[in-house]
Amino acid sequence: MPLDERSTDASEHAGPTSIDTEEESDSGNHSRVDKNNNKGEKQRPPLPPRPKAGLLQSDASPNSPQSVKGLRPSLQSKPTTALSSVDIQTLSFPDGSRGTFSTPGSRLVSESVMGLSTGTSTPSGKASRAGIDMDDTTSLISYAPTLRGNGDLESLLDSGLDSPSPAWKLLSTQSEAANPFESFEYEGPSLHSFDKEFDEIEAVDTKRGNEEELLIQWKSKLKHYIILSSAGKPIYSRHGDQNLINGYIGIIQTIISFFESAKDPLLGFTAGNTRFVVVTQGPLYLFAISKLKETDAQLRAQLDALYMQILSTLTLSNLTHLFTNRPNTDLRRPLEGTETLLSSLSDTFTKGSASSLLSALECLKIRKTQRYVINNTMLKARTPNLLYGLIVAGGRLVSVARPKRHSLHPGDLQLIFNMLFEAGSVKAGGGENWIPLCLPGFNNRGYLYMYVSFISARENAENVAERPSTASSVSQEDEIAILLISAEKESFFELKEMRDDIVEQLEKNGSMDIIKKAVRVGRSSATEMVPGTPLRHFLYKSRANVQFTMPSFSPDFGSALARRKLMNLYHALHASAHAKHAHTKVIHCISTDSVSLVWTTASFEFYCIAGPNTSRAALAQGANKIIQWVKREEERLFIIGGAVF
């Protein structure tokens, strides 16, 4: 079977695609800055006044996404020197409790000096090169950080508020083997209300007059997603019911429309430590509010995914039709039931998802020969109306069957995975499912039909029954799903037969046990992959395959908070690696609570993190070893080619 087909399941676009949520759109960063400055200079009313300050604010202020990065730029190339380190005096303890002195607006370049002085690294291009020499196509440019250059703006802004306390210095030099984020100072955006982030906000009760209290709760959320029609009709908000946020919807609509009508669309703005990003899609305004220091490009990708979800429910044709007929359409009715999908998607972003950050998929690690058998089983069982067939286990792809002409768009798969594994509805149904959906990456004008059946990966299936059906991501770990997609809406029983056939064959040839076992074992930790590695976590994206691999989050990032911190770091690393003019291939970052590294080549993107006292040489060597490991295991970690018919 055509395993030799290097081009991939997901890399090429299929069909008449008009939406593209893939990455590399980070140019938003810069263009946004320009826009803002323009806006500021033109003194348009709805924005905070920022003639010159505008530049400082959006370009250099600690609060703007660009400068975010919890990175200490001890070793950076020029294009990324805009990075500065985060310093929020929040005492976040690893267990999620906290005591805060958040001084959210204070991050400065002078800290990079601190980074040096606590310094595990003596920056020099040579040293780095010595560490990482695997891939000679890699261009490695590194500079010692200077306080000059881009840093000037920042040092103007901040005045050295945050030099590390002597106690901190003591602490940080103490333990060699400290884990990331263990120190009291976590250098990312303030997450002190993260544990309440997903708590529901009650409905407004005018009798009790709880509105004020609810607004405080609402404002304390770190992340908001709001969707409205260009006519100002609310469509969706992650937090708060309509009565609570109606006023804000009005304001948002006014602001966006103002710029729209001036043919100078608003892309985003900053207020305090909060970033606001706007995406307009035909009749829809999508609006993200984030205190998590994500970049505009990252937030925009998230909004695009929400838009894709709306298309997936309605199709573009229907959406357009509704609004052409009645510009004042209330979309909530036709979207009924989509809200839970939008919310689980939003929460995935807020919790932090490697898959959405990298726009790539994760596969279940099994032997190449085993995958070959599974692929063949799929192909043999294939029935005439099959378009795509997927086996997914523990949220990871096991096998994909697809026609030669069509690949799967990662954005489409994200929607499917979200529906099946994050939102509760389908899983809780307890049967087989037949789901009409539009996969906008495949074709945004029509529906496909998806057959879904779940199989428990547990030895004894009894626990499945006990599991609360609304539980989401926890339970995805032990589900095997067979998804068969067709353009033929009456093909349920045909595909059901195919599924029965597949399952029977997989049982017979032993593949089912292999899959179940792989799911139960779960991801290995970095130490299991390369014994003794200083790396605590990493992401490796194979560009050609549009797939990624990573170790387990436990033991170091088991909690939701720890995971969010890790994701903050990855977001920052990702942003610096994808900054418009970043020609850098390696970025090494030191902060008080971790050291990290990004390495990009034509074939992969690699992000990793180690404890704060890891030397750069050790980090580089650790990275090297992991990358070698990945290369060795490549055909187990990634689906290469897949089952093509």
Partner 1 sequence: MATKGPVGARGPAGSSRGGNSRFAQFKLVLLGESAVGKSSLVLRFVKDQFDDYRESTIGAAFLTQTISLDDQTTVKFEIWDTAGQERYKSLAPMYYRNANCAVVVYDITQASSLDKAKQWIKELQRQANENIIIALAGNKLDLVTDQPDKRAITTADAEAYARESGLLFFETSAKTSENVRELFTAIAKKLPLDQAGPRNPRSGGRGGVELRPENTSTQGAGNTCAC
State the residues that interact with partner 1 by CB under 8 A.
313-315, 317-318, 333-334, 336-337, 340, 384-385, 387, 419, 423-426, 428-437, 442-443, 445-448, 450, 465, 468-470, 487-494, 496-497
Least gap, CB of 430 to partner 1 (angstroms): 6
Of 306 and 630, the one with the shorter C-beta distance to partner 1 is: 306
Of 489 and 517, the one with the shorter C-beta distance to partner 1 is: 489
Of 433 and 505, the one with the shorter C-beta distance to partner 1 is: 433
Least gap, CB of 644 to partner 1 (angstroms): 19
Least gap, CB of 461 to partner 1 (angstroms): 12
Q: Is the dihedral of CA 333, 337, 342, 347 positive or negative?
A: positive
Can you list the positions of beta strands (E) in 457-488? 479-486
Residue 485 pairs in a beta bridge with 388, 450
Can you list the positions of beta strands (E) in 525-583? 535-542, 547-549
Least gap, CB of 408 to partner 1 (angstroms): 14
Of 129 and 467, the one with the shorter C-beta distance to partner 1 is: 467
Of 149 and 430, the one with the shorter C-beta distance to partner 1 is: 430
Least gap, CB of 495 to partner 1 (angstroms): 10
Q: Give me 314's structure tokens.
A: 């309605």
Q: Which amino acid is at 412?
A: D
Of 244 and 439, the one with the shorter C-beta distance to partner 1 is: 439
Of 390 and 514, the one with the shorter C-beta distance to partner 1 is: 390
The set of residues, in sequence order, having a beta carbon less than 8 Å from that of 579 and lying 6+ positions away, is 26, 29, 30, 66, 79, 80, 82
**Using CA atoms, how far apart are residues 521 and 420, in angstroms rounded to an integer?**
21
User: Cis peptide before 62, with omega less than 30 degrees from 0?
Assistant: no
Of 176 and 504, the one with the shorter C-beta distance to partner 1 is: 504
Of 85 and 312, the one with the shorter C-beta distance to partner 1 is: 312
The set of residues, in sequence order, having a beta carbon less than 8 Å from that of 572 and lying 6+ positions away, is 68, 69, 70, 71, 83, 188, 293
Least gap, CB of 250 to partner 1 (angstroms): 27
Burial class for 639, CB neighbours closer than 10 Å (0-12, 13-18, 19+): buried
Least gap, CB of 374 to partner 1 (angstroms): 24
The separation between CA 229 and the C-alpha centre of its own chain, rounded to angstroms, equals 26
Q: Which amino acid is at 583?
A: H
Of 168 and 434, the one with the shorter C-beta distance to partner 1 is: 434
Q: Which amino acid is at 210?
A: N
Of 165 and 469, the one with the shorter C-beta distance to partner 1 is: 469
SS (H, E, C) 56-122: HHHHHCCCCHHHHCCCCCCEECHHHCCCCCCCCCEEECCCCCEEECCCCCCCCCHHHHHHHHCCCCC
Least gap, CB of 443 to partner 1 (angstroms): 5
In the Cβ-directed half-sphere of 185, how many Cα atoms lie within 13 Å?
24
**Torsional class of 352: left (φ above 0), alpha (ψ -120 to 50), beta (otherwise):** left
Least gap, CB of 117 to partner 1 (angstroms): 54
Complete DSSP assignment for 507-541: HHTTHHHHHHHHHHH-PPPHHHHSTT--EEEEEEE
Least gap, CB of 446 to partner 1 (angstroms): 4
Least gap, CB of 315 to partner 1 (angstroms): 7
